[in-house]
Amino acid sequence: MVLEHLTLKNFRNYRECSLNFGTGINFLYGDNGNGKTNLLEAISLLSYTRSFLNNLDSDCIYQGESYFEACGIYNNESGLRSKVLCRFSVSGKEFIHNNDKVNRFSTFLGEYPLVVFSPRDIKMTMGVPSERRKNFDMLIAQTSSVYLNDLRNYSRIIKQKNSLLRENKFTPRYQTAELRKMIEIWNGELAETAVKIIIRRLDFIETFRKILDSSFRKLINKNIEPIIRYECEYIGDDSVQVSPGEIKATIIETLRKKMEREISRGISLSGPHRDNYIFEMKKDDIIFDVKGFASQGEHKTFIIALKLSEYDYIRTNIMHTFKGNPILLLDDIFSELDDGRTEKICESMSDYGQVFITSPRYRYLDVLKEIFKGEISVFKVAGGTVKHV
């Protein structure tokens, strides 16, 4: 997919902006605080229906105004053009896809596949499990509406089960036996959906592990091996085959064991909403946890390798569609990296479709030009205006 044209109205520090992008690398440079990230945020909004920074839509309105608009014209690489328009005001957010109103945002996700690297992704390796879970859920969801649907169902079930447990804790209304029966009904539904989610995550991790390995090779010469593990209460080693029936039985059994604790705590204590992904690196035969032991540069390299792997994961999954390549957004990717790694990234750029790279430093353009032989479009971003140079 190629974003050919973008127009913004009252989006962040852009009053009005109309831009044509190149099909290769789009290099956006400018001093800090001028609107580079804001531009990528608008592009992510058009693909994800929300900002990759997880910001409130209302924050994106130019201060003092009452609405924003972002509109993208895409080319699916086989020449078919399409249009996505997002409008937000106090009365809500609206998406128009080729002149049709999008009624359910979940059916739209994945139409314009996109991967973003942002300095804030440091929370992927440093942060709590939910950051990693959310990230990979979003990734899998971009390639599978079935998975997205399962997630939505699951989250509805957990909400309802939690509200029953919470209500009961503060104002007990049911006999113990009656309460147990009600929880058991929720647990049955929970197990049903949880199995589907877990099976999908197991399938994902198996594919993703191989991709991550090769992304790492592209970035690092040294003998460092990435390790990624999926941690779920109901399964042991994530590479050992388990049948859906076995997983479901374990879930039911675990939920039964935890029921009393759940009742006394007033919250559900088990389920794939507590799953985790663990990142480790094997260096000179020693395995260490990325979160606790990696240097700042290693964190960043690990995350870049993750993001490039996400790209390959999506690409593999959409190969049989007409969507072409995903769009890649790299926000301030070069800062803090040594020259060797910067060059490796530049070398790998020929493997991707349309790419947006931001940097406060113009000199990275020279490095890029030296290594990358494809098309580079250059934009100067200053004070909410963007100039093609």
Ligand X SMILES: Nc1ncnc2c1ncn2[C@@H]1O[C@H](COP(=O)(O)OP(=O)(O)O)[C@@H](O)[C@H]1O
Q: How far is the CB of 38 from ligand X (least distance, A)?
A: 4
- CB closer to ligand X, 300 vs 344: 300
Handedness of CA 243, 138, 150, 312 (dihedral sign): negative
* 364 binds ligand X per the rule CB under 6 A: no
Of these partners, Mg ion, ligand X, none, which one is at the site of residue 33 (CB under 5 to 8 Å by kind)?
A: ligand X
Please state the φ and ψ torsions of residue 328, each to the nearest 5 degrees: -115, 125
User: Where are the extended beta strands (E) located within the chain?
Assistant: 2-11, 14-20, 25-29, 67-75, 81-89, 92-97, 100-101, 114-117, 224-231, 276-283, 286-289, 327-331, 355-359, 376-382, 385-388
* 63 binds ligand X per the rule CB under 6 A: yes
Q: How far is the CB of 135 from Mg ion (least distance, A)?
A: 19
* 37 binds Mg ion per the rule CB under 5 A: yes
Q: How far is the CB of 333 from ligand X (least distance, A)?
A: 12
Please state the φ and ψ torsions of residue 350, each to the nearest 5 degrees: -70, -10
* 36 binds ligand X per the rule CB under 6 A: yes
Give the interface segment with ligand X, choosing from 60-68, 100-108, 155-163, 219-227 (CB under 6 A): 60-68
Amino acid identity, residue 379? F
Of these partners, Mg ion, ligand X, none, which one is at the site of residue 78 (CB under 5 to 8 Å by kind)?
A: none
d(CA 388, CA 27) in angstroms, rounded, equals: 10
Give the interface segment with ligand X, choosing from 55-63, 138-146, 255-263, 286-294 (CB under 6 A): 55-63
Rg (CA), the chain: 23
Q: With CB under 6 A, what is the number of residues at the site for ligand X?
A: 16
* 34 binds Mg ion per the rule CB under 5 A: no
* 13 binds Mg ion per the rule CB under 5 A: no
- CB closer to ligand X, 30 vs 271: 30
Interface with ligand X (CB under 6 A), residue from 3, 19, 27, 37:
37
* 171 binds ligand X per the rule CB under 6 A: no
Q: How far is the CB of 381 from ligand X (least distance, A)?
A: 6
Q: How far is the CB of 361 from ligand X (least distance, A)?
A: 12
* 35 binds ligand X per the rule CB under 6 A: yes
Q: Tell me 268's DSSP state.
A: -
- DSSP string for 225-247: EEEEEEE-TT-SSTTS---HHHH
Residue whose tokens read 């076995």: 246
Give the interface segment with Mg ion, choosing from 29-37, 45-53, 136-144, 220-228 (CB under 5 A): 29-37
Amino acid identity, residue 362? Y
Q: By three-state DSSP, how is residue 117 classified? A: strand
Amino acid identity, residue 182? M
Q: How far is the CB of 383 from Mg ion (least distance, A)?
A: 14
Give exposure, 172-199, as e/b (b: 16+ Cβ within 10 Å).
eeeeeeebbeebeebbeebbbbbbbbbe
- CB closer to ligand X, 47 vs 358: 358
- CB closer to ligand X, 8 vs 318: 8
d(CA 64, CA 251) in angstroms, rounded, equals: 51
Pairing status of strand 327-331 against strand 114-117 = parallel
Interface with ligand X (CB under 6 A), residue from 21, 62, 136, 352:
62
Q: How far is the CB of 123 from ligand X (least distance, A)?
A: 17
Of the candidates 226, 160, 228, the one whose C-alpha atom is nearest the C-alpha of residue 188 is 160
* 88 binds ligand X per the rule CB under 6 A: no
Which two three-digit tokens encode residue 336?
């803090």
Show the binding pattern over residues 184-223: x = contacts Mg ion (CB under 5 A), - = does not: ----------------------------------------
Of these partners, Mg ion, ligand X, none, which one is at the site of residue 219 (CB under 5 to 8 Å by kind)?
A: none
Residues interacting with ligand X, by CB under 6 A?
12-13, 30, 32-38, 59-63, 381
Residues interacting with Mg ion, by CB under 5 A?
36-37
